[in-house]
């Protein structure tokens, strides 16, 4: 039920007050009470005009000046009411709801962008997009409806009840007789229909999940001819939803009918009782009109609130999930960590152990050192967790035990963004954004001049970009569709030339390329690695034959290490892996 979401409601209210500020929010509350209290005065003005007309039948004297004055008061009232409502709606309710929407989006966008890699891998990216795009909207409409409509209607009801009790307590009591019945029936209908509505909403979520699975694995869907299977699954859910929706719509429509019935009951009670009191000279016709008018000021706002409860429950359920999913995302940086600027880049692994869970280590007792300017290689067949070693250096994960030192500084104490700013990675599948080539390059060095970019492209053997339709202004395209694999690789290397990091990591950088293309890319890499501390993961012997030291890993452990010639002479693990005729390992 709605009241079970009180903690979520408090979060939303706290967020909203944080946007407005404490005193502006208090002023907003005072102003809304004033505006919507003011909106209840119209029946009183009209009843005064009717009272003047009613006097005609009693005294046969009509003071036209009084009626004219009241009509002008009525006109002034209407103008002021419209103006006050506009001021509240635009300058308070809408303005602050929009500001809150922007702040919530900014807050959670920052958390998503800054989440750690392990956190990212544990999430469904499609679900995160949906939460951010859809459920921030839910908070916007919740706050908008709360302050523009719900609280407005509550204020109108309370002020109206106060007015009618002041005028005639007995008639006020009679006017309110149907309210308990309205509340009880409303709660009954709500309790009956809401579970079905919630189930229906979850079924619609499954439709989006199926579409998301199709889009995220689009090629696989085509290869396996899964289109009809996904269509059938979606159509089945839609068919179920249609049947459920028909039943729910009948229920919600019935709720509207019962509201109309309750309003008619209240009006009949007011007219019947009013006629009796008029006959007894205990009520005037003008006062009867007043009570008759105020029936709609009480019952329609009350029915509106009941109707909105359904939407509010849905809003709060979505908002609750948004806060649950996004508020506690593990973040990648801590401002208290050290920032490194000038170092020699000596890397040491001291008894490093690491596991993705508590049950098994995938890296065990790793000890190695990379001296400044050295080139080392990590080799073994797939499954040896070589890339995990690299990910530990980048601090995508932190070691389970042991230490990784950078110039004798434990990297767990270094701010991640600072650490990564000095490391460049070239992988088998380098990522490029769906932006222009120039924008992709400038991510490495935003202040880069035209000459810097030209030199980086030249060093990376990537001058082909100038032959594209729009040169370096060419948009790469969704998932790099406008560039081939080797073109994408060269642009990625050019980006690293701009960054000019002290440490280079090559993670299977040329494994997906043919021999001719590999030689071109290797020339670029040799320029890039000059005087750099370099860690290479590769299957091709041509990539690692000239490194200073090769570390052979098996089941997460270093089982052999030396340079290429010495390892071949030993005729052990590395020798068995090497295949000089084909220049590959394994």
Q: Distance between CA atoms of 457 and 455, rounded to whole angstroms?
A: 5
Q: Distance between CA atoms of 293 and 270, rounded to whole angstroms?
A: 10
Tokens of 13: 């209210």
* Angle (CA) 311 307 236, round 5°: 55
C-alpha 91 chain-centroid distance: 27
CATH numbers and ranges of domains, the chain:
2-326 (1.20.1560.10), 345-420+503-514+535-586 (3.40.50.300), 423-500 (3.40.50.300)
pLDDT value at position 480?
Answer: 47
Q: Distance between CA atoms of 436 and 470, rounded to whole angstroms?
A: 9
Helix H or strand E encompassing 42:
helix 42-59
Please count the other Cβ atoms lying within 10 Å of the Cβ belonging to residue 448: 18
pLDDT value at position 338?
Answer: 81
368 three-class SS: strand
pLDDT value at position 4?
Answer: 55
Please count the other Cβ atoms lying within 10 Å of the Cβ belonging to residue 277: 19
Nearest to 536 by CA among 524, 522, 550: 550
Instruction: Enumerate the β-bridge partners of residue 560.
Output: 552
pLDDT value at position 583?
Answer: 47
pLDDT value at position 582?
Answer: 47
Q: Summarize pLDDT for 449-468 with one digit per residue, the tens.
A: 999 999 999 888 888 888 88
End-to-end distance of the chain based on CA atoms, in angstroms?
Answer: 62
Low-confidence ranges of the chain (pLDDT < 50): 1-3, 480, 582-583
pLDDT value at position 159?
Answer: 93
Burial annotation 89-112 (CB, 10 A radius, 16+ → b, else e): beebbeebbeebbeebbeebeebb
Angle of helix 64-86 relative to helix 22-38, nearest 10 degrees, comes to: 150
Total residues belonging to the chain: 586
């Amino acid at each position: 039920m709605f009241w079970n979401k009180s903690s979520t409601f408090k979060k939303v209210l706290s967020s909203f007050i944080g946007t407005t500020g404490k005193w502006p929010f208090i002023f907003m509350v005072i102003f809304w009470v004033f505006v919507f209290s003011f909106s209840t005065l119209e029946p009183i003005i009209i009843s005064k005009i009717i009272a003047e007309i009613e006097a005609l039948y009693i005294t046969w004297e009509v003071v036209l000046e009084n009626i004219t004055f009241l009509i002008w008061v009525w006109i002034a009232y209407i103008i002021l009411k419209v103006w006050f409502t506009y001021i509240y709606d635009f300058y308070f309710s809408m303005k602050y709801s929009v500001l809150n929407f922007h702040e919530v989006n900014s807050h959670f966008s920052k958390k998503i962008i800054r989440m750690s890699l392990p956190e990212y891998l544990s999430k469904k990216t499609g679900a995160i997009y949906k939460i951010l795009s859809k459920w921030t909207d839910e908070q916007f409409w919740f706050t908008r409806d709360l302050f523009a409509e719900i609280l407005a209607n509550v204020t109108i009801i309370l002020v109206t009840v106060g007015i009618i009790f002041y005028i005639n307590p007995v008639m006020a009591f009679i006017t309110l007789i149907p309210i308990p019945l309205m509340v009880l029936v409303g709660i009954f209908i709500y309790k009956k229909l809401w579970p079905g509505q919630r189930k229906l909403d979850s079924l619609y979520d499954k439709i989006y999940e199926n579409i998301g699975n199709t889009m995220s694995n689009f090629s696989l869907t085509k290869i396996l001819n899964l289109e009809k299977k996904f269509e059938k699954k979606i159509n089945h859910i839609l068919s179920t939803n249609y049947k459920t929706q028909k039943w729910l719509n009948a229920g919600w429509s019935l709720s509207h009918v019962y509201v109309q019935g309750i309003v008619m009951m209240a009006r009949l009670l007011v007219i019947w009782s009013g006629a009796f009191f008029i006959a007894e000279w205990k009520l005037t016709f003008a006062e009867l009109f007043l009570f008759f008018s105020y029936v709609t000021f009480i019952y329609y706002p009350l029915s509106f609130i009941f109707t909105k409860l359904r939407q509010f429950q849905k809003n709060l359920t979505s908002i609750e999930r948004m806060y649950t999913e996004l508020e506690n995302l593990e973040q990648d940086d801590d401002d208290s960590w050290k920032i490194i600027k000038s170092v020699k880049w000596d890397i040491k692994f001291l008894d490093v152990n690491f596991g993705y869970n508590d049950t098994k280590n995938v890296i065990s007792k790793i000890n190695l050192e990379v001296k400044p300017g050295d080139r080392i290689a990590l080799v073994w067949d797939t499954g040896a967790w070589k890339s995990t070693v690299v990910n530990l250096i980048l601090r995508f994960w932190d070691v389970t035990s042991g230490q990784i030192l950078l110039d004798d500084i434990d990297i767990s104490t270094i701010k991640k963004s600072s650490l990564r700013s000095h490391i460049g990675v070239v992988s088998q599948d380098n990522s490029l954004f769906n932006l222009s080539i120039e924008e992709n390059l400038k991510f490495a060095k935003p202040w880069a001049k035209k000459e810097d970019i030209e030199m980086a492209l030249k060093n990376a053997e990537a001058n082909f970009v100038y032959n594209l339709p729009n040169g370096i202004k060419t948009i790469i395209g969704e998932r790099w569709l406008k560039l081939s694999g080797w073109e994408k690789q060269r642009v990625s290397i050019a980006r690293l030339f701009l960054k000019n990091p002290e440490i280079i990591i090559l993670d299977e950088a040329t494994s997906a390329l043919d021999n001719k293309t590999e030689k071109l890319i290797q020339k670029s890499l040799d320029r890039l690695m000059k005087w750099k501390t370099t860690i290479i993961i590769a299957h091709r012997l041509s990539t690692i034959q000239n490194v200073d030291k090769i570390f052979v890993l098996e089941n997460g452990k270093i089982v052999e290490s030396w340079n290429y010639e010495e390892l071949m002479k030993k005729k052990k693990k590395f020798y068995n892996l090497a295949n000089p005729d084909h220049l590959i390992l394994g």
